[in-house]
Copies of this chain bind each other. A is one copy, B any other.
Amino acid sequence: MTTIDAQADVVTLINVFTVDADKQQELIDLLDKATNEVMRTLPGFVSANIHRGVDGTHVANYAQWASEADFQAMLANPVAREHLAAALEIATATPLLYRVASVHHA
């Protein structure tokens, strides 16, 4: 279980992928595998939360890293880059970094 907390000192990547409907599951599997085999082992990794688009043609990764430097180091890691390149063979990605501004509940 992942928590979103405005006080937590993490940087959040929200990466929205656009993919053909017949490749959505393949992309989810690929992101699960990349996370388990590579991302989880890297310094500063906190969580990855893979989301299946209800429309069938999107996948989102809501990922938390301890710092922006850790995230940038991941992007420069050759094994991580290989996994990211595999995702980009079947999808387009719009990765953006955020910090939590506010959290509201019912």
Contacts and interface: CB of A to CB of B under 8 A. Distances in A.
Contacts of A47: 4, 103-106
Interface string A64-102: 000010000000000000000000000000101111111
Contacts of A4: 1-4, 47, 49, 62
A102 B49 CA distance: 6
Given A4-B47, A50-B100, A60-B98, 17 more contacts: A1-B4, A1-B103, A2-B4, A3-B3, A14-B16, A14-B51, A16-B16, A32-B102, A39-B104, A40-B104, A40-B106, A46-B106, A48-B103, A49-B102, A50-B103, A54-B97, A62-B62
Interface of A: 1-5, 11-12, 14, 16, 28, 32, 35-36, 39-40, 45-55, 58-60, 62, 68, 94, 96-106
